[in-house]
Amino acid sequence: MVALAAAVTVATPWEFVGTAADGVKAAPAPFADLITGAVGQVDALEQQASATVKGLMTGSGVDVHQAMIATQKADMAFELTLAVRNKAVQAYQSVMGMQF
């Protein structure tokens, strides 16, 4: 059986903030870096899902449940990213609508 699920290690978004790899407290990352990192993680999950589905279709030892789990992880990550984007746009529009 091919272990495609273990091939991609994805960091959680909060791993970008607070501590460096050696455990030393690091300066907070800029917001743009956090968003860029999160989008990169979503892309990695999508690529992992694509690889598992391809492995399932070619019969290279990937189980159906592995493909479904990878696909659902990618879908949930995308939905969360879309929700964060929508909230950011909503906040921007709210700030732009304020009168000083």
pLDDT in tens, 25-75: 767 778 889 889 999 999 999 999 999 999 999 998 889 999 999 999 999
> Residue 42 and residue 39: Cα distance in Å, rounded?
5
Query: Is 19 strand, coil or helix?
Result: strand
The answer, yes or no, to whether residue 81 has pLDDT greater than 60, is: yes
The answer, yes or no, to whether residue 83 has pLDDT greater than 80, is: yes
* pLDDT tier for residue 100 given thresholds of 50, 70 and 90: confident
Question: Given this model, what pLDDT does residue 5 score?
Answer: 45
Q: How many Å from the N-terminal Cα to the C-terminal Cα in the chain?
A: 63
Its pTM stands at 0.66
Locus of tokens 């959680």: 12
